[in-house]
Amino acid sequence: MNTKENKSNSEKVFGESRNVGIDGASQNILIIGAGLCGSLLALRLGQRGYNVNVYEKRPDLRTVDISAGRSINLAFSDRGNKGMKLVGLEDNVKALCIPMHGRMIHDKDGNTFMSNYSGRDYEYINSISREDLNALLLTEAEKHDNVNIHFNKGCKSVDFENTTALFKDYLDKSEFIEDADVIIATDGAGSNLRKSYYLGRKFLFSFSQNYLTHGYKELSILPAEDGGYKTFKNALHIWPRGDFMIIALPNLDGSFTVTLFLSYGEGEYNFNNLTTPEIVTEFFEKEFPDALAIMPNLVDDFFENPTAPLGTIKCSPWHYKGNTLLMGDSAHAIVPFYGQGMNASFEDVVEFDAVLDEGHDNWEAIFKAYEKRRKPDTDAIADLAIDNFHEMKDHVGQAIFQEKRKIEMALEKAFPDDYSSKYSLVTFNEDIGYREAMLKGRAQDKAILNMLADGEVSTALDLTEIKNLKTILDKVTEETRAILEDDEIAGLS
């Protein structure tokens, strides 16, 4: 996380209604889903003075343990932090964070090496508990009298022409309909509003769901006897194996949440054939011996926890007239490999808030402006996340990519104001959008990889020598500019 001071967002006054085109107090907003995006949105709209009702299908996670082997912890970084600054919770969230300064790569022989996320020491990402963060946001939202959160009430369908939603109360089994001025669905990748758009066939709805051939399963490394961490705490651990991998992120209690990413049906070992404790153990002995040594609970975790798919969802339009809007994963679910899913959803709220400041006088104009401004960026992070799947499981183990990384780290360290790698542009340069980060970052990658292949730049040079680095920086800058210009002339950007 970027801890530079004097960010423009931190100067904003929170909890105060500013230039709102639509008067907050007269508007009833219904939010479907009190997950990370829904609870931040509720808090922010509450601060702006709207009457907010949130309906959540699950019980209150502050009173019932509902984690079930899926996404126990998450990567939290600068874009997500913009959302926390917006609502004044930056310091509260910092207390929940475990900094991860880089990837710690584990090879098959158990050797490790650290690959930092940035050459700037103050840039790092964080591991955070989904539950703790969600609880904080819910509690803060509920401090506003104009925000009410209703648990155990699941949305069955949305009538987007009449701006009403049908709910089922899971406690007393009753069904009821709620009316609102606008309905915003933050109900995740399986969104019921999005399903209503698709099945309703009332307008042309572009939609895609694309699954990787791989699924994932959560496992764990438990704390040591003394409550400490069994491997290095401040890193995102990766065991890249070409076609599959495991990763591990630290938790505050000394444990790590481990995730296995593996093909459903291809390769010698896959989810379809890992069916007995013996085969699972054999697979880990062969591929991840150092991890297995600190995972005595592997077999129990493996057979208790579900195997889940990895899908990308894109769609458009996100809104129906001025009645309903999709936000967060319901509009743009992505695979987890850039650690940006939650960050993108929090940035949605920041962007939506900025559109509210533009002073539009009707919801349709607000929703339209929001989608127009936001969709190119969420499309970009979806594509970047798939790129990073290949980078993490495979490229990080290849010589040419390691050389590129070495050069970029040196450039970022020597020229902190003049160079940012693709990873840094996406993760730490939160003042540019994902799309701009993608275009520039991909062009830089292409420039460096090709100059390495052609011998125009080389890690054989002394990279502690500033003169050498300046020459490399100038070449990379010039070649990146040429690549972007060539693409533009060819109509490719």
**Where does this chain bind a copy of itself (CB under 8 A)?**
204-211, 264, 309, 311, 314, 390, 395, 442, 445-446, 449-450, 453, 486-487, 489-492
In total, the chain counts a number of residues equal to 493
**Nearer Cβ to a copy of itself (31/315):** 315
- Write down the least CB distance from residue 454 to a copy of itself, Å: 9
Q: Would you tell me how many other CB atoms lie within 10 Å of the CB of residue 211?
A: 12
Close Cβ partners of 143 (under 8 Å, ≥ 6 residues apart): none
How far is 288 from 280, CA to CA, in rounded Å? 11
- Write down the least CB distance from residue 395 to a copy of itself, Å: 8
Helix (H) or strand (E) holding 60: none
**Nearer Cβ to a copy of itself (77/312):** 312
How far is 45 from 363, CA to CA, in rounded Å? 14
**Nearer Cβ to a copy of itself (95/489):** 489
How far is 461 from 32, CA to CA, in rounded Å? 56
Of the candidates 150, 181, 185, 148, the one whose C-alpha atom is nearest the C-alpha of residue 163 is 181
DSSP for 301-364, please give it.
Answer: HHHHSPPEEEEEEEEE-SEETTTEEE-THHHH---GGGS-HHHHHHHHHHHHHHHHTTT-SSHH
Q: What are phi and psi of 366, to 5 degrees?
A: -65, -50
How far is 461 from 315, CA to CA, in rounded Å? 47
Residue bearing tokens 């900094």:
99
**Nearer Cβ to a copy of itself (26/398):** 398
CA distances from 433 to 19, 38, 415, 477 (A): 24, 22, 22, 20
**Nearer Cβ to a copy of itself (198/303):** 198
Q: For the chain, give me the number of helices (H) and strands (E)?
A: 15, 19
C-beta separation of 216 from 308 below 8 A: yes
**Nearer Cβ to a copy of itself (420/444):** 444
How far is 413 from 74, CA to CA, in rounded Å? 27
- Write down the least CB distance from residue 444 to a copy of itself, Å: 10
- Write down the least CB distance from residue 145 to a copy of itself, Å: 41
Of the candidates 128, 130, 339, the one whose C-alpha atom is nearest the C-alpha of residue 247 is 339
- Write down the least CB distance from residue 200 to a copy of itself, Å: 14
**Nearer Cβ to a copy of itself (96/369):** 369
- Write down the least CB distance from residue 31 to a copy of itself, Å: 27
- Write down the least CB distance from residue 263 to a copy of itself, Å: 12
**Nearer Cβ to a copy of itself (14/401):** 401
Q: Would you tell me how many other CB atoms lie within 10 Å of the CB of residue 9?
A: 16
**Nearer Cβ to a copy of itself (44/375):** 375
